[in-house]
């Protein structure tokens, strides 16, 4: 079995799960940070009290009003769809995970505890102590830092990993997620673009790039990415929900409601977005 990470966990590791191992979306087991409070059982020990694995759906939906939105929307879409310089000249690693396997790997990592993340971190540190240039150890440590919400500490490890893993789409994907959490949205979009250049059927990378574009108020461009994710998985509830929100932001209310209703049927938590955005775009534009 191909794997982009070390052999410690049977399902392997990566940041952020938005799908199951069979690559068809089942949203019930993917709580966001807000959903975690009601959907997860209370931990019985301090060690079990893991921070939720990095989840880009926990990012707030921006309100396109004011100077910040105008500046963000001025970024050309072509600049967001361009892969990073490393990815642009890279050849896809033949041993990289398939899109389905990468999705399963992300799901496995999401289920880890804080103790697991710290063990992952300690193990990577041990390898790097004797081999400071070990790219896979840098990648493992970066993911551990990200899942422990130490996003700034993760950043240099992703850069180090890419020095010798330029053809691995998972490094770009995880680096993109980390950049979303640091609010480095253009960089995140470029890294997700690197993922889809190397692995064109990665629906979660299209979703991530769509989220980055939403955060930059590029709602129409975001619709395109969510649509590409849905072309790969028509039951991708998060993509339906976020595409619906994006449609609502530029007055495509019929399309918005259709997406949000379907998303709510697939994932009851999307009912909140349906109530908020399915009738009017006033909330998207900053209304109460």
The CATH number given to whatever domain includes residue 136 is 1.25.40.10
Q: Is residue 131 part of a domain?
A: yes
Q: Is residue 273 part of a domain?
A: no
Q: Is residue 90 part of a domain?
A: yes
Q: Is residue 184 part of a domain?
A: yes
Q: Is residue 153 part of a domain?
A: yes
pLDDT per residue as tens digits for the range 209-242: 999 999 999 999 999 999 999 999 999 999 999 9
Q: Is residue 32 part of a domain?
A: no
Q: Is the pLDDT of residue 114 over 60?
A: yes
**Counted domains in the chain:** 1
Domain of 145 in residue numbering reads as 77-218
Q: Is residue 263 part of a domain?
A: no
Query: Per the confidence metrics, is the pTM higher than 0.85?
Result: no
Q: What is the DSSP string of the chain?
A: ---SS-SSSTT---S---S-TTSS--GGG---HHHHHHHSPPPSSTTT-PPPPP-GGGSPPPP--SHHHHHHHTS-HHHHHSPPHHHHTPPPPTTSPPHHHHHHHHHHHHT--HHHHHHHHHHHHHHHHH-TT-HHHHHHHHHHHHHTT-HHHHHHHHHHHHTT-TT-HHHHHHHHHHHHHTT-HHHHHHHHHHHHHH-TT-HHHHHHHHHHHHHTT-HHHHHHHHHHHHHH-TT-HHHHHHHHHHHHHTT-HHHHHHHHHHHHHH-GGGHHHHHHHSS-STTTTT--
Q: What percent of the chain has pLDDT over 90?
A: 69
Q: Is the pLDDT of residue 280 over 60?
A: no
Greater model confidence, 187 or 37: 187
Q: Is residue 16 part of a domain?
A: no
CA distance 4 to 41: 31
């Amino acid at each position: 079995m191909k794997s982009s990470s070390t052999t410690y966990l049977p399902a392997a590791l990566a940041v952020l799960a938005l799908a199951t191992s069979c690559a068809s979306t089942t949203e019930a087991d993917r709580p966001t940070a807000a959903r975690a409070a009601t959907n997860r059982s209370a931990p019985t020990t301090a060690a079990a009290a893991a921070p939720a694995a990095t989840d880009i759906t926990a990012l707030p939906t921006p309100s396109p009003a004011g100077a910040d939105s105008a500046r963000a929307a001025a970024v050309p879409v072509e600049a967001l769809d361009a892969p990073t310089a490393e990815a642009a000249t890279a050849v896809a690693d033949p041993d990289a995970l398939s899109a389905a396997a990468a999705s399963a790997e992300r799901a496995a990592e999401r289920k880890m505890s804080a103790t697991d993340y710290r063990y992952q971190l300690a193990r990577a540190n041990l390898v790097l102590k004797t081999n400071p240039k070990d790219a896979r150890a840098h990648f493992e440590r970066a993911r551990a830092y990200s899942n422990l919400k130490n996003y700034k500490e993760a950043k240099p490890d992703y850069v180090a990993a890419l020095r010798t893993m330029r053809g691995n789409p998972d490094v770009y994907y995880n680096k993109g997620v980390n950049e979303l959490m640091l609010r480095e949205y253009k960089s995140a979009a470029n890294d997700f673009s690197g993922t889809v250049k190397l692995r064109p059927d990665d629906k979660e990378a299209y979703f991530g790039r769509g989220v980055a574009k939403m955060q930059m108020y590029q709602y129409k461009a975001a619709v395109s990415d969510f649509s590409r994710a849905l072309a790969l998985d028509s039951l991708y509830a998060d993509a339906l929900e976020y595409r619906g929100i994006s449609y609502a932001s530029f007055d495509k209310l019929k399309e918005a409601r259709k997406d949000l209703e379907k998303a709510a049927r697939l994932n009851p938590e999307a009912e909140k977005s349906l109530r908020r955005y399915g009738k009017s775009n006033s909330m998207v534009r900053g209304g109460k």
